[in-house]
Amino acid sequence: MGRIPRSYLINRLITLFLTILIAATLIWVIPRLSPVDPADIMLGRMAAGAGSVANADQVLAQLRESFGLDQPMIVQYFKYLGNTLLFDFGLSTASFPTPVSSLIARALPWTLGLMILSVVITFVIGNALGAFMVWERSPKLVKVAIPAAMVFTSIPPILSGLLLMWIFAAQLRWFPLTGAYGLMVEPGWTWDFALSVLHHGFLPALSIVIVTFGFWALGMRGLMITVQGEDYVKLAEAKGLRPRYILYRYMIRNAILPQVTAFALKIGLLIAGQVLVERIFAYNGMGKLLYDAILDQDFPVIQGVSYVIILMTALSVFLVDLIYPFIDPRIRHEG
């Protein structure tokens, strides 16, 4: 406890680096197994746009050169690796010649905002509800209402998204249908913009929350039931401690620990689940970027987005590893 030992930190950092390296390699290998040649696709697109392309062979060679596809695989790999680690993913083929990194830089804040918001809300709400389902002093209503609300958990996020969209945006018109902020609002650090962002982000976030909170609530319920039967909770009651204090300090504090681990492991899945939600709400985040890139066979963007998602997952696992000993005194940092 206390400080994190240096040997442990170095150990963890090496693991983190290796994870990222392997992920980066896989991301590079998989698209290369595809029979599609990105230069061909670009040429095809140019041909479709202009009717015909003169000196097609030369253009093709030039395109290959500009993407470095003319070099031996091994050279391509190490170049790619070096660039990727520096967040240089090359140029997008679909929106040529925009660098992939700037596309990601534009999309990432939206996804992070939406994701962090919805993930944190889900985690907090889900665990709180799970805890209240077990707590003896919860109002009866809570114990009836929560299981009913869990019906939504079995709905895929796109359907819940469409449903919410239809009710609250199309019928009631409380929220905008699509987009991340209003067309009339100038992006910047203004209240108008912030309100617009919240207004637009509400439904996408809700559609994620509504289908995922049940996972946390059910998990927490099981953990709470186990903790409730523990001798230390019984003794806490015999000690005449206040019921709320027992709930927080003796029950939730102990029941939440495995949930934190699950949280870190789930982050990657949560981002993946968000792809389609972003798509239906035309929300300009990483999910939409990835979706469009797959349709356009825009390999550099697919690589870049996948890399960033893996990086975020690896980083969150790393962070949970570091903080876990602080929330559970029985776990130690050992190298």
Give the footprint of another protein on this chain (CB under 8 A): 230-232, 234-242, 245, 249-250, 253-254, 257, 327-330
Q: Are 281 and 25 in contact (CB under 8 A)?
A: no
How many other β-carbons are positioned within 10 Å of the β-carbon of residue 199?
15
Structural contact between residues 260 and 325, judged by C-beta atoms closer than 8 angstroms = no
The Cα–Cα gap between 134 and 324 comes to 25
Nearest to 251 by CA among 230, 271, 268, 272: 230
Q: Which is nearer to another protein, 32 or 253 (CB)?
A: 253
d(CA 160, CA 177): 14
Length of the chain: 335
CA dihedral 309, 313, 318, 323 (to 10 degrees): 130
Residue 253 C-beta: closest distance to another protein, Å = 5
Is there a cis peptide before residue 97, judged by omega within 30 degrees of 0? yes
CB closer to another protein, 94 vs 236 = 236
In the complex, minimum distance from the CB of residue 223 to another protein, in angstroms, rounded to a whole number: 13
Smallest gap from residue 224 Cβ to another protein (A): 15
Tokens of 315: 């980083």
The count of C-alpha atoms lying within 13 angstroms of the C-alpha of 53, restricted to the half-sphere facing its C-beta, is: 15
Which CB sits closer to another protein, 190 or 226? 226
Q: Which is nearer to another protein, 236 or 301 (CB)?
A: 236
Burial of 200 (0-12, 13-18, 19+ CB in 10 A): buried
Q: Please, which residue, 32 or 244, has the CB nearer to another protein?
A: 244
Q: Where are the alpha helices (DSSP H) in the chain?
A: 6-32, 38-50, 56-67, 73-85, 100-134, 140-149, 157-164, 191-228, 231-238, 243-245, 253-255, 257-280, 286-295, 299-327
Beta carbon nearer to another protein, 63 or 255: 255
Give the nearest distance from C-beta 143 to another protein in angstroms. 15
Residue among 153 and 228 whose Cβ is closer to another protein:
228
Q: What are phi and psi of 234, to 5 degrees?
A: -60, -45
Least distance in angstroms from the C-beta of 250 to another protein: 5
CB of 329 to another protein, least distance (A): 4
Helix (H, G, I), strand (E, B) or coil at 307: helix
Q: Report in angstroms how near the CB of residue 109 gets to another protein at its nearest.
A: 36
Whole-angstrom distance, CA of residue 93 vs CA of residue 114: 27
Query: With respect to another protein, which residue has the nearer C-beta, 37 or 328?
Result: 328
- Pick 1 or 50: Cβ nearer another protein: 1
Q: How far is the CB of 331 from another protein (least distance, A)?
A: 10
Q: Please, what is the minimum distance in Å from the beta carbon of residue 107 to another protein? A: 40
Axis crossing angle, helix 286-295 with helix 100-134, rounded to the nearest 10: 120
